[in-house]
Amino acid sequence: MTPRKTYILKLYVAGNTPNSMRALKTLRNILETEFRGVYALKVIDVLKNPQLAEEDKILATPTLAKILPPPVRRIIGDLSDRERVLIGLDLLYEELTENDLASTFIDALGDDDIRRSDS
């Protein structure tokens, strides 16, 4: 069995606003369900630590940033769309098989696109 990657995540929030609390609750649910034991999450309140938001170029909250493994990915919003969060942070991609990816790619392209890409 190969060891799983460890995910390093930062969630930037602005106090205890409804959107911030919803994002935190949703994210914790996703992490405990999908990534139990293979993640580290740091929650940063930009009202208490504005310098961290400035250093990391955070312009809106809530913002979720996946720091490791590379590449760095960000999602802005309350994270209510679970699949969008997983795909947007490049976390769901590894769970797809090559066959799933190939069939999705073929379904997304028309026959003309496939012929052109082969030539």
What pLDDT, in 10s, does the model give residues 28-72? 998 888 888 788 999 999 999 999 999 999 999 999 999 988 888
Of the candidates 91, 90, 119, 117, the residue with the CA atom closest to the CA atom of residue 102: 117
Architecture of domain 7-94: 3-Layer(aba) Sandwich (3.40)
What is the model's pLDDT at position 87? 85
> Is a pLDDT exceeding 60 seen at residue 116?
no
> What global pTM score does this model have?
0.71
Sign of CA dihedral 82, 84, 88, 92: positive
